[in-house]
């Protein structure tokens, strides 16, 4: 199992990586924009994330044609061995993924909204797929159920499910129990998982008892 911080905000990501609980960082153009960055900032994001301990940094391509996506993917991969190229599950994107996997570039097919796209990503040789769990549910598809189906379809395959667009710890637990191995979690969700109110109260109680002994 691997947990990734889904953010390009250095101030949010670095403390989470410092816990040693998160394998790396996932980004996309929306997350870059939220952090006040653009595609041109990817080398800098890659540099600080790997310096902070990220074993993998997922960065997304731009481009509307297969050729443009392939060119962008090669630039991302050239940043270093920890770079994983994210490509949307469009017709052009899947074709680009096939080209890049043939060059041994690690690929995550992202923005997956239906279980059949998992099969296409596998056919493209992708190392990962990223189902958008919450967004599927928002659009009338049961995101958790679709993602569980993807996991079943890919059972025993080399393509791993990296669940994204997660809204709650309950969804994370349900998917993990169904065998989903990898998760991209927003920084607020990471913090929420690390700060359960009942655990904090129990720990405070133990400390109060300990203080009474001194």
> Do 169 and 193 form a contact (C-beta atoms < 8 A)?
yes
Q: How many CA atoms lie within 13 A of 123 on its CB side?
A: 10
To which residue do tokens 């709650």 refer? 168
- Whether residue 86 lies in the annotated active site: yes
Catalytic-role residue among 86, 117, 126, 161: 86
Known catalytic residues? 86
């Amino acid at each position: 199992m691997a947990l990734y911080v889904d953010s390009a905000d250095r101030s949010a990501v670095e403390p989470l990586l410092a816990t040693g609980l998160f394998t790396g960082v996932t980004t996309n153009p929306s997350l870059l924009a939220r952090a006040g960055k653009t595609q041109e900032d990817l080398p800098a994001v890659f540099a600080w994330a790997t310096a902070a301990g990220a074993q993998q940094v997922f960065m997304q391509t731009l481009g509307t044609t297969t050729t443009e996506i392939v060119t962008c993917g090669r630039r991302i991969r050239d940043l270093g061995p920890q770079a994983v190229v994210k490509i949307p599950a469009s017709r052009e994107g899947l074709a680009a993924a096939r080209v890049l996997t043939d060059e041994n570039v690690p690929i995550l097919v992202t923005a997956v909204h239906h279980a059949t796209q998992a099969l296409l990503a596998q056919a493209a040789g992708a190392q990962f797929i990223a189902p958008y769990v919450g967004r599927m549910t928002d659009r009338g598809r049961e995101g958790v159920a679709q993602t569980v189906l993807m996991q079943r379809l890919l059972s025993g395959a080399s393509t791993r499910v990296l669940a994204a667009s997660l809204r709650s710890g309950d969804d994370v637990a349900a998917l993990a129990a169904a065998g989903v191995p990898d998760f991209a979690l927003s920084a607020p969700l990471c913090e929420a998982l690390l700060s359960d109110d009942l655990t904090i109260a129990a720990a405070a109680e133990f400390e109060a008892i300990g203080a009474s002994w001194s």
